[in-house]
Amino acid sequence: MCSRCVRPDAVFVGDWQVRYCRLDPAALAAHPLLPLALDTLGSAAAVPEGVTEGSVDLVVEVLRRYDSRAEHMPLVQLLVHKVMALEARYVAAVAAGDEDTERGLTRVFTEMAEAYTDLLLAPVEMNQLAVVRLVLLCTSSEDTDTAGITLRFW
């Protein structure tokens, strides 16, 4: 952990710390906040205002900062597994007309595809097509601003 930003015994890691501090990827993967943020995104339960957006911001920032290098793999594996599990929540948000959740998940899916493009293009089968299909699903959003988020990937 970065001693300037966070004490080793700290219980909070925010997106600003991910953005401005060099956090050990294994420690970040083991920190309870990241799985909590991902679980929050996957939950249809009502959450206080700003929690969903904060969760999206944290996950997007982690995806941006920790690419698919070997030393990041424990974190990458956690992220890919948890983010791919959000597809059902995306479909439910679209069906319910929850544009904020739809837009937030579109940001997460697109950022993951961008961050791990080298894995998507790898010759080893890792279910890469599922990631591409997920981003493609987001392009069909009736909200053109939400659909436009995916254009950075394409």
- The amino acid that residue 62 corresponds to is V
List b or e across 119-145, with b for residues whose CB sees 16 or more CB atoms inside 10 angstroms.
bbeeeeeeebeebeebbebbbebeeee
Provide the residue ranges of all domains of the chain, joining segments of one domain with +.
15-152
Sequential DSSP letters for 57-87: HHHHHHHHH--S-GGGHHHHHHHHHHHHTTH
- Over pLDDT 90: what percentage of the chain? 68
Mean pLDDT by 10 residues, the chain (154 residues): 46 58 86 91 89 92 92 93 97 96 97 95 91 96 96 88
